[in-house]
Structures are given as C-alpha cells and as structure tokens.
Structure 1
Amino acid sequence: MEFLKFKNIKSLAVALFMAGITSQALAQNPIIHNQFTADPSARVFGDKVYLFPSHDILANKERGRIDWFCMEDYHVFSSSNLTDWEDHGVIVTQNKVPWVKPDSYSMWAPDCIERNGKYYFYFPSTPKDSTLGRGFKIGVAVADRPEGPYIPEALPIKNVNGIDPNVFIDNDGQAYLYWSAGNIYGAKLNENMLELASDPVILQDLPTKGLKEGPYLFERGGIYYLTYPHVENKTERLEYAISDNPLGPFKFKGVIMDETPGCWTNHHSILPFKNQWYLFYHANDFSPAFDKARSARIDSLFFNADGTIQKVIPTLRGVGLTKATDKIQIDRYSQISESGASVAFLDTADKFNGWKTVLSKPNAWVKYNSVDFGSGNFKNVVARVSASKASDLQILLNKGTRPIVIKIPATSGAFQTIKVPVAVNASGIHHITVKAIGANAVDVDWIRFE
C-alpha cells in the first residue's frame, strides 16, 4: 500500500487501520515530556527512530549566560512507534570532549549518521584552545551503537567553522557535511567521516535577505532537498530549495512551516518511517514565556505529485493513532470550540506535568481525532477531572454510538479519577468529542476506555 498518497492524517489513520497497522501510535506534541529538547535530528536505524536533539537548560549565575541559549550535553532517545520514547541518557557532554571549552554551555544543534556499522555524531561547540581559531567548531564522536557510548575525537574537523552540522550520504556512497555560519556551507567528507574531502563551498542561489541556518539535506526521487530555517522577517520559518546536485546550485521552492508565534527559532529534520514522511521540529510549549527553552515536536509531511512539499501546519495532536485504552490527553486536541474551551498547565510551577482542558461554559468542547477502539466492547470510561461544583461531561464518538455522559461531583478544585460503567460497542477508528453539558465548569486531564 502506498501511504504517501494520503493528504491528511485522517485518511492516513483510516488506511493504517484498514491495513491492520496499528503500531504506529500517536505522538502528541511535544514528544519528550521530562526535559527540554531542541533542534531534533531524527534518524531511522534498524526498526527504530533515534532522536538526537540539543538539550536546553536554564542558565544561572553559575552556568551559561542568563537569558540566552544554555546547553551542556546531548541525550539520545529512541522509539519504535513515535509514541513511547526511551531516553538512553547523556552521550556527549562539554567537559568530556578534549577540544571543547568545558564551561562554554554551547553544545548546539547536532546530527548523527551510520556508516559501515559505526555511528558518527556531529556537534558544534566553542574550543578551549585559541590555536583552533575563533568561533564555533564542529566535532565528531563515534560509537558502535546508536545509543552509545560515544567517544569524541581529540580535535574538531579541520576547515569547518560554524554551527548546525548535517550529514548526508548519497546513493553512490559519497558523504557530505553541511553547516551554517552566516551562509550555508557544504563539502564532501572522506570515507572515514572525520575529515573533509573537498574545500567548503557556499551553497548558491538561496535567499540572500536575513539569517539562514540549520541545513538539513535529503534526497527523494532524484531531487536533492535543502531545507533550512530562514528569518525572512523577524522570526525563523522553515523553507526549502531543490537541486540535481548535493552541493547545488539550489532553486528556492517554498515554505515548509510558517513562523511560530512566540518562538524565534525553529530547527528540524525530515525523514520517512514506515512509509510515511515526518517533520521533526521544535517550539517552546513547556516554556511559553522564554523561547530559549524548547521542545521537540512531530507532524506528518506530504509531497505533491510534482515533488513539491505541502506546507505543514503545526498541531498539538501530532501524528498517528491513539489506543482507546491509553490515556487520551484531550488537551492535545485536533479542534476546539471558539468559546468556553481552553488549555492551561496543570501545575505552573512544574510545567513538565503537562496540561489540562478547561471547559468553562455549557457546550464548550474539544475534538480529538484518530482513536483506535480495536474490536470494541468496552465496559468503563475513566476520566481524571476536576470541578468546583457538580457538572456533567459528554463524550461523543463520531459514528454508531450513543453519547456517554459522566456525572462529575464537586471535587473542591482537586483532580479525581472517576470510573463510569458504560456499554461501548465501538470498533475501529473514531474521532471523539468531549463536551461540557452541565451549567458548571469542568477541567479534564485525560480520559480512557477499559
């Protein structure tokens, strides 16, 4: 089955279910919930996606520059379903790389690639030795497994000055390194993946106005796609240009994702996984007031018949299917009513606890798409809810079932988990709508079926 022909997540989800493929479950945005994860470089190694993001931390008087980017190490995460991400821990840290200034806090956007059974992790940072030159350099750490351990090279790559390394291996086996330093640069890599095989060149015929950085190159159908963040106005958006050569010249083709309000940067990677293309990118979901603390996201990406990329509209819902037996975080909604429905943090002192849906008026609702009920025959619905006064909540599936009503007692503002007996003989894929039908407000953390 050719899943790339589907133009939206709804048609893709239905097709996956009809084909019996339900392991590609949801990835609600953001995808990592216990730390900040910016600049997500995603790679498919074997049957898993490995995520190599940078790791934002908050600067203070003892570390970094206050109110600026602060990064001291890298983690690697993996997932077989884009839902459950395993943190394999720190793979490279600034004070254990021989050439890096040990308190620079400048371990910015990385990349990783496999060649001949070895995994090469590329990262920028500030050197401690002035003989290496001023500004950022790019180093390499090598491992036998994508999870590590990674051993950093003693010195950075010669003749490379800049940030945002990206590596691409063409069909003929030639490897290329890309990076940014005002312009976007590219060069061939030697077979050992540790040194350049050609002089760096500035990639030509890209937009000249505004900052360009974060290159990510991939090939599809004989077309080389150079994708990059670009400040056309005051905030970065994701753009792309195409060529018939990995080093260009390139022809600008369009915008992949518009600017994200409240987040000055964006940085991304693009890959196919289980016959669907995805865009990995970041926003500042867990830190809305400070855009130097960012979080990785995923949304589906689609191509037109002529090879051009359809613009990706960022979502909270993310990608894939959610099992009805999982906690359905309806605050990562697909649609929301114009009045009386909103999303707020569960705990403003610890935003990594996530969000709640606030239904403050009668008939306020949220809709959550693509929930997999399997063969059906559920006996209970469970909801974690809060209400200052007794209220009613309605859950409506989009086909073939009666509305489910949950009577919620007054909880004095505290969340309680309520189980309601139901007879839900719903099978297959449903979109669910959760609506306040009582006169009083209700907050919803999650719902699930059992």
Structure 2
Amino acid sequence: MQPSSKSIIGMAKIKLRCWLSALAAVVITTANAQNPLITNQFTADPSARVFGDKVYVYPSHDIRAQPGHGRAGWFVMEDYHVFSSANLTDWTDHGVIVTQNKVPWVKPDSYSMWAPDCIYRNGKYYFYFPTTPKDTTVSKGFTIGVAVSDKPTGPFVPQPLPIKGVRGIDPNVFIDKDGQAYLYWSQQNIYAAKLKDNMLELASEPVTLGELPTQGLKEGPYLFERKGTYYLTYPHVANKTERLEYATSTSPLGPFTVKGVLMDESPTGCWTNHHSILAFKNQWYLFYHHNDLSPAFDKNRSIRLDSLFFEPDGRIRKVVPTLRGVGLTDAKQKIQLDRYSRLSNSGATIAFLDTANKFQGWKTVLASNLAWVQYNGVAFGKQALKTVTLRTMAPAGGTVQLRADGATGPLLAQVTVPKGGQWQEVKAPLSAFKPGIHAVVVASKTDTPVEIDWIRFE
C-alpha cells in the first residue's frame, strides 16, 4: 500500500524538524573580545592547546543554580564548550561537546563537570573531565573520565567508565618528548601517573608530588616543558584566595623545587584561579580566570589571557592581569575601549552597560576634560580609512578627540556628540590616517560626561 499524500507531507515535516534541530545543535557563534575572552556566557578553568594553526580552549561552563538544577551558592556546571582562535582575538564557540546527561557513568543531576583538559595523540583527541559518578562503588567523590573524537571540536564520544584508579579533580595530560604520556590531578594533594598508549588507562601506580607546600589548598595542576625543565604550575591558597605558583624539575614526576608565584591573588576577590600555559607563534601565554562578569559572585567566572615571559635563568616573570589582553584589534571592527591599556587617573571610569544583564559588557565614562582612555594594538592596515563611528551617549552633549600613539600624538578626529539620553552612533571624518599598528587615545574636551560603548574606523 502506498502512503497517502498527507502522510508523505507529515513525514517530510518531521524530517525537516529533525534536520533543523540537528542544525541548531551545531550552530557556531563568534565572539570578539579581549579580557574576558568570552562575554556571552560564564567560562572558567581554561585548558588551552595548539592544534594545527589554531588555539583551542576547553573551559568549564559555569551556570547559575536554579531549583532542582545545582546547589545554590556553589559551582554549577553541566556541560563543556570548546572555543578556537587563529589570532587570539576572535574566538569561535563550537558549542557543547560533552554534557552530564549523555555520559553513561555520570550522575545526571550532579552539575559537577569541573575543570577539563584535552590532548592529541595518534589521530585522536582525548578530552579528560572530572565529575561525580552515579555508582558510588566506583568512587565516593570525584573521578575522571575520557571522551574521544576525530576532531578537536568533536563530536566527542565518552567512554563507558571513568579511568580506573583515579580519584580526584582537575585532570591535566602531558606527553613527553619520548612519547610517554602522564596524567596529573588533584585531591588535597597533587598526583601523577603514567598513561598507557591507549590514553584511557593508567600504566603506573599514582604518586604524590610531595615537595609542594603542605599548608593551604592546592589544585589545578598544569605541567609543561621548556628547554629541558619541567614546570609544574598550580593554584594554591597561601593566604585567603588562590594564587598561581610553580615548581620545576628535571623529570615529569619530580622531585620538584618550588620556585615562586606566577600570578598573585585576584584583585577582584575571585576565590579560585585555574590556568594553562602554552607557546603560540613564538610567544608564551597564560590562560586563567577571574569573575569579571559576576563581581558579586565568584562562582560564575570568565576566562582571560595575558602574555607570559621567562627570565634568562628560566624563572617565570610574574604575570600582571590586564583588561586589554593580547592580540591585535582590526580598526574596522568594534573597539571596546573599556578593555583599555591605560586609563586617566581623573574623570575616567568603567561601568556595566546594564547591571541587570552584565553579558551586555561595559562602557567607558569620560566625566571631565581631564579624562582619557588608551587602547593599544589597533591594526589600521595600509588602505586609508576615512571615518570613525562612536556608539556614544552624552545627556548634555560633548566633544571628544581621537589621537594616535599618545595624548600628544597626531589628531585622528574630533567628534561632536549631540545632546541626548539614548545611545546613538555618531560618525565623523578622519583628519589624518596612520597606516600600520597604533595605540588610540580617546579624550574628552568638555566637562560634561560622555559615555562610549565602542568605536570603529571605516
């Protein structure tokens, strides 16, 4: 019997809905940001890796607790995303790669998908993640599982069981020059063990890396090698909140010698910090997190990125967190002045655009004729640009000047901002064009407040 035309149409509609649903599941979104790198969701615990010609970041994903969904006032995470960038400025969100209710061994309502890591070996990508098992005979606390993919962006297929013999959080994987892989994790202490070639099982009994500080919480190990020295880096609560410290060794399993602090406690009061370190295009970088988008609640965090440097003797120079971050910003894109390189001591402040929705980002407020903001690393290119557009608001009106390379540098434009209490885009001609890479200084020339969301050259 042939199906009727109505049934054919019905089946077609069902197929179309399924196709649209599948398409929606793989929608890729792009974020243009400095620090924090991602501004449309909370991200933490960034594990960054270079695969091919891009950097891929595997963070944990903080969400807010809701009735029946996580513990109020605590960390709540149910899935993982992966982000990629070829220039460390423009980040692409490839969507969810692993979620708690699709891993066979995970307690589906645990909301404890904490800090992960990912590594490439023999044509496969291995994604390591800690969480709570539903079978408490496997582990009464956290354990660590693995999901495997043919691509760095997934889809990742979770293994049916976690790694046997591992109890703890914050997995980190390191492959030495001889091909031996190691797994590091934390649970009051920091532990390490060799991995088998299949990257799914331990090849040795875990050892405690015992030369580290004995007082205060230690977690989040991340090991890398440079010029024959193995650097074990980790967050440590030496006072009230976590700071990033490091120790060195001539072996991946130690013994390690504590060398010092590579990042001080968060100036924003974020209780945790968690990080990774890599070299990309002849520069070393530190990925970490603060609570930029949630200053009143440090369980909702945001990942950041700053350059890292070594002293001639191999010591790590302490990294000072910045808002500007790294990378170049195309002059033809929206330049978020609130992620500034320098800010005047008088009359210039940064505030949220909307305190009820902090994902909207920030604005720069220039409240007097002494106020200015400087944003470094703007790439103007070679082709002459003719105008600048400001998204701005000035209840009493105002005037701002844009200069290149400092407050006394060449005048790029003078912009008159009309009086008004609503955001508007104001365009003005450029009086000069400077090809190449420059800092841009935006300064107020009136005593009435001018607010700026972004600027863009065309």
After TM superposition, the score normalised by the length of structure 2 is: 0.91
List 4+ stretches of structure 1 deviating above 4 A. Answer: none
Aligned to 2:341: 334
> Is 2:441 the counterpart of 1:438?
no
Aligned to 1:405: 414
> Is 2:330 the counterpart of 1:319?
no
Aligned-partner Cα distance in 2 for 1:323–1:82: 12
Equivalent residues of 1:377, 1:423 under 8 A apart:
no
Name the amino acid aligned to 1:226.
L
Aligned-partner Cα distance in 1 for 2:195–2:63: 32
Aligned-partner Cα distance in 1 for 2:162–2:300: 27
Name the amino acid aligned to 1:339.
S
Aligned-partner Cα distance in 1 for 2:390–2:263: 35
Q: What pairs up with 1:37-186 in 2 under 5 angstroms?
A: 37-186=43-192
Aligned to 2:226: 220
Helix, strand or coil at the partner of 1:378: coil
Aligned-partner Cα distance in 2 for 1:346–1:127: 41
Helix, strand or coil at the partner of 1:415: strand
The counterpart of 2:292, out of the listed 277, 285, 288, is 285
Equivalent residues of 2:401, 2:411 under 8 A apart:
no
Name the amino acid aligned to 2:190.
I
The counterpart of 2:380, out of the listed 373, 378, 381, is 373
Q: Deviations over 1:242-276 (max 9, x none)?
A: 00000001001111110003200000000011111
Displacement, 1:369? 1.1
Aligned to 1:348: 355
Please identify, of 363-372 and 47-56, the stretch whose mean Cα deviation from structure 2 is larger. Answer: 363-372
Name the amino acid aligned to 2:179.
G
> Is 2:300 the counterpart of 1:305?
no
Aligned-partner Cα distance in 1 for 2:165–2:241: 30
Please identify, of 27-36 and 370-379, the stretch whose mean Cα deviation from structure 2 is larger. Answer: 370-379
Displacement, 1:232? 0.4
Equivalent residues of 2:412, 2:432 under 8 A apart:
no
Query: RMSD value over aligned CA atoms?
Result: 1.2
Equivalent residues of 2:411, 2:431 under 8 A apart:
no
Name the amino acid aligned to 1:204.
G
Displacement, 1:425? 2.3
Structure 1 residue runs of 5 or longer lacking an equivalent are 1-25
After TM superposition, the score normalised by the length of structure 1 is: 0.92
Bigger relative contact order, structure 1 or 2 (CA pairs below 8 A, ≥6 apart): 1
Helix, strand or coil at the partner of 1:85: strand
Aligned to 1:241: 247
Identity score, percent: 68
Aligned-partner Cα distance in 2 for 1:449–1:79: 23
Name the amino acid aligned to 1:418.
V
Equivalent residues of 1:37, 1:296 under 8 A apart:
yes
Q: Deviations over 1:162-215 (max 9, x none)?
A: 000000000000000000000000000000000100000001211111000000
Displacement, 1:337? 1.1
Aligned-partner Cα distance in 1 for 2:256–2:411: 55
Name the amino acid aligned to 1:205.
E
Name the amino acid aligned to 1:394.
Q
Aligned-partner Cα distance in 1 for 2:433–2:221: 49
Structure 2 residue runs of 5 or longer lacking an equivalent are 1-31
> Is 2:209 the counterpart of 1:200?
no
Displacement, 1:403? 5.2
Aligned-partner Cα distance in 2 for 1:86–1:403: 32
Aligned to 2:425: 417
Aligned-partner Cα distance in 1 for 2:183–2:38: 28
Displacement, 1:132? 0.7
Aligned to 1:17: none
Aligned residues between the structures: 424
Helix, strand or coil at the partner of 1:122: strand
Name the amino acid aligned to 1:87.
D
Q: Deviations over 1:83-109 (max 9, x none)?
A: 221111111111111111000000000
Q: Deviations over 1:26-85 (max 9, x none)?
A: 951001121111000000111111110000000122211000000001111111111221
Aligned-partner Cα distance in 1 for 2:310–2:80: 32
Helix, strand or coil at the partner of 2:420: coil
The counterpart of 2:398, out of the listed 382, 391, 407, is 391
> Is 2:265 the counterpart of 1:250?
no
Aligned-partner Cα distance in 1 for 2:252–2:338: 42
Helix, strand or coil at the partner of 1:242: strand
Name the amino acid aligned to 1:427.
P
Helix, strand or coil at the partner of 2:101: helix
Name the amino acid aligned to 1:104.
S
Displacement, 1:422? 2.0
Helix, strand or coil at the partner of 1:332: coil
Q: Deviations over 1:282-310 (max 9, x none)?
A: 01111010000001110001111111111
Equivalent residues of 1:376, 1:428 under 8 A apart:
no
Q: Deviations over 1:121-178 (max 9, x none)?
A: 0000001012112100000011111111111111111110000000000000000000
Equivalent residues of 2:294, 2:300 under 8 A apart:
yes
Aligned-partner Cα distance in 1 for 2:78–2:95: 13
Aligned-partner Cα distance in 1 for 2:237–2:365: 35
Aligned-partner Cα distance in 1 for 2:337–2:359: 16
Equivalent residues of 1:378, 1:423 under 8 A apart:
no
Aligned-partner Cα distance in 1 for 2:93–2:457: 28
Aligned-partner Cα distance in 1 for 2:194–2:107: 27
Aligned-partner Cα distance in 2 for 1:32–1:139: 26
The counterpart of 1:427, out of the listed 432, 435, 442, is 435
Q: What pairs up with 1:2-13 in 2 under 5 angstroms?
A: none
Please identify, of 124-133 and 161-170, the stretch whose mean Cα deviation from structure 2 is larger. Answer: 124-133
